Structure 1
Amino acid sequence: MSTKAQVHFQLLPVELVHKIFDYLNAEAIVFSMRLVCKQLYSIVNAYNRYELDFRYISKSDLPLLARIIDPDAIISLKLSKTEKERSIRSLLKHFRTDFTRLQSLALFNLYDRDLKIIQNRIMKCPLKTFSIFNELWNVRKTEAYISNILLHKDLSKIEVKLDYDSITLIDWPMSCGLKHVIINNCSSATIYTILNHSPNLGTLVITDNYFENFEETITNDKQFNSVISLSLAISANIAMENIRSLLSCLPCLAHLRLISKTLSSDDSLFDGSEWEDLITAKVTLLKKFEFSFFGDLSAYNGSVTPKSMINSFQTLFWLQTKQWIVKYEDGPDNLQSWTFHIYSIPIFIDEFHYPSPVFRVVHSTLNTDVRCEKVTVDTNRLILYLTKMMSESTLELVSTIVRVQYCDSES
């Protein structure tokens, strides 16, 4: 570091230096920044927003880290038992007191005894965010632990990834202060329970839903006006009537994302006029509508064509009022069926293959050559087929790829 750079850094207000620390892990702050000079030593000692991720802290660093960092200065913990000899009790014993200012807690694949130990240490903490991801089959009391966490008066966000049965057994308090809920493997009954018990809920994300007879789940005409964002990934055969019943409860919705993971048999899902009628009747405040539906083209025997489907999304409502762009693509699913995919732009998907080894884009609501349209994707993992890209001269058509966490390539 140059002398000039050192002078400039030392002139920064302490609050700004602490803001920079917010983007560093605890090891970098304690073992690097703290040793640069006396001034930074003092600034580090005054820092009180540590976020510890035990998944990546080495066993040798942990005792020293725990001696230097005051537990009251820790606001976030991520706990995972990745090694057999590393029990949660042995991890936490290095800290002499409880984490009285803990605001965020994330747990990964922990056993019942681990959850009990953690519960005793954090029940009085001002938790605002809680996440639990558990793929262990012999954990029997996870749902009871989550039920206790939901009693935290400051809790505003929860993310749960468990098996279907465990989520069903969660006991939701009559009224909790949750504003954001992300959950998987749940039924329509669970969705309604969450809505009914969360009067402040603004965002609901369901990553794997079995959307069975939602209209039978609703017992009254109650509306949930606080919900402005809904994201559903549906594993079962989705029907427009179920969607209609759900949206009838959410009149203030501004963002809607619907992902069908299986082939859908309801023609209404692929009809832009049906969606236009539903949106104008039930969710008039909707500003952003993202969807992805699959169907079996061979089942229609020519009664519905790709062109007729895309035409229904080319009205003034879609192109001018809402400015929502839709694309249609199809390809062989096997020797006997032909699958089509109709979706909004940008594409949102956990894993994106480009160019698609199966589907080919045939139509777009934009009156342009689909072969010349750029591809915009919201994805976590991108797989590129380089040989096919070069042979088809498609490399220059790849547009902004948002939130890519991992990129792979295949020839």
Structure 2
Amino acid sequence: MPLKKGKLVGWGNYPVAESYILTPRSENDSRNILQDTPLIARGLGRSYGDQAVNNNRYVALCTHLNHFISWNEAEGILTCQAGVSLDEIITVFAPKGWFPMICPGTKFVTMGGAIANDIHGKAHHIDGSFVNCVISFTILLADGSIVTASRTENADLFWANFGGLGLLGIILTVTMKMRKIETTYFRQKSIAIRNLDHMLEALETYDKEYNYSVAWIDALARGKKLGRGVLSLGNGAGFNELPERLKHRPLRLHSATKLRVPFFLPGFALNGLTVRVLNKVIAVVQNSPKEFVHYDKFFFPLDIINDWNKGYGKRGFIQYQFVIPEENGKKNLTEILEMIADSGCTPFLNVFKKMGDGQGILSFPFRGYTLAIDFPVTPRLLAFTPRLDEKVLSCGGRLYLGKDALLEEKMFKEMYPQYPEWLSVKQKYDPQNKFSSDISRRLGLEAV
């Protein structure tokens, strides 16, 4: 199998790692690469940090393992290889009236990556995370065996893989439940939010009426405007709800985008002034008067621009996502937002959601509030995030490992006190750490 060495990064373009890249194209290829370890599987590279890079070690690029295997239309159950992306699933099945049950902020994620990060979306408080739509998967283990994992078969392996960052094996196939739909449109409501009090009140008011909710927050706002932004709510639209102009193509697909950021923008392009201007533009765009919105804009607004991550420049950026409990939520969110506004860092694309109950061992979500903030990487940011980590921990919160790039091992273990349970599964199935990555070594997620 061809082997090449090259630079790999996550979506945040930080940190950069030199890795030996293998490209399996079959199950046998996947078995053969077990001789090249330590190894980590990689999909479309949409994890933000060092989850799918392996400095001076091996990375298996699994995007060629992307075939559909079976489809049970009567029950809406799909089996596919783990290299299949949400984009490919939507393209094939949306015209048939079926849609993935769980969608994150981009459709360019593979099913293996969706499991590794236990992805979630705008309806987590209703639908939960990706584990809720997966019936079973097959996985190549360190000893070369291929086993099936489900809630009843190898259940410890099943639960440990959701949020397990690909560190237990190479997921080969996934069997999952799809959602029946009448249209690919959503009925949307946008609310201009004055401040944090108004935000939390609106979330509670519309919690039962709308399945999907997400908010943009102006992280530079202060004082009485702290927490201002736009709350977007939505439900899947039935055919009879659509206006006549949309009924002739109720299951319309997304178009291939032609927009692209062609090169890394210079570092000075994103500063306090430009962020303030962009925040005003985002506020206008998010507060859309359109009642019916296509799924591509509703779920995946950033996908309209290819390589948008280059807009942060070659220095890269991190997406800092945390969740804290609802208890004392207003007080804790106020203090965190004030810390960010006073940090001197440049917060951008600040997404706020309410989350439901969590599952799994290292899966990120639990019932509470989550905020995801993009920060360009600067020396000031590297000094600030440890203080922010401490604050999140003091609130009873934790960071999303699927996006993290900076968390230290000690802090991780305090945020995820259940980590020994996951390590016991690691010890059972991969005692020699054949599957490892930069993040596994950074956080101590390795068998001893």
TM-score range, shorter chain: under 0.3
TM-score under structure 2 normalisation?
A: 0.24
Point out the structure with max Rg over C-alpha.
1
Q: Relative CO higher for 1 or 2, CA cutoff 8 Å, sep ≥ 6?
A: 2
